[in-house]
Amino acid sequence: MTHLNKFVLAIATAAMAQLAHAAPIALTNAGFEANWTSVAFAGSDGHVTFNYAPTGPNVGWSFGAGTGVAGAYDLLAAFEGSRFALLQGASNPMSQTFSLAGAMDVNLSFELALRPRYAPGQVVRVSVDGQTVGEATAATGWHLHALDLGLLSSGTHELAFQGLSGSVGDTTAFLDDVRLDGQASRALPEPAGLPMTLLAAGVGLVAWRRRAR
């Protein structure tokens, strides 16, 4: 490979790196479809059965009091699949750990819905490593919520959801389709700065060709 080709390849590589898209970060049972081996308690209102604090090898989440998994609801279908998580009243957190191989800018998205025919007002707190990163209010029907979790270091982190509303009657939020996406932190400019990068690269190429004469 000639010096010129190497130079052009380096420019292209740098440009493509700036255009890299976020990649999914693995979560276990992010749609709450996995079967469990036991539950702390199961109760039904005639429309749906709440399975509180399910456990099992594929459950993925640690469910605190007031949280669990429900499904086959005749008043509200799951956003995806046939099951969804629940956060009833002032619940304890439900959480899962995830790992990053390197520092990443991380974004979270999830679907949230209010339990039909029961009190409104359920607010869900989202935290990472014990620090609140946002809150979302459950509304009628499924609604997409997205949060920028910022730059997270390499290693293990904990994502948690917690119901907050314990004084507005029996109110429950349903949670489904939890997703994490991350983009590796880097010193390269953002895509908005790509034209300047290419301009600088072009100037460098002209200077290199003049020296090569």
What pTM was estimated for this model as a whole? 0.79
Contact yes or no for 166/155 (Cβ under 8 A):
no
pLDDT in tens, the chain (213 residues): 555 454 444 544 444 444 456 799 999 999 999 999 999 999 998 899 999 999 999 999 999 999 999 987 889 999 999 999 999 999 999 999 999 999 999 999 999 999 999 999 999 999 999 999 999 999 999 999 999 999 999 999 999 999 998 677 799 999 999 999 999 976 444 555 555 544 444 544 444 445 555
Domain assignments of the chain as residue spans, ordered by start = 21-212
Judged on CB neighbours under 10 Å (0-12, 13-18, 19+), 115 is buried
Task: Tell me the C-alpha distance between 170 and 174, whole Å.
Answer: 13
Q: Which fold has domain 21-212?
A: Jelly Rolls (2.60.120)
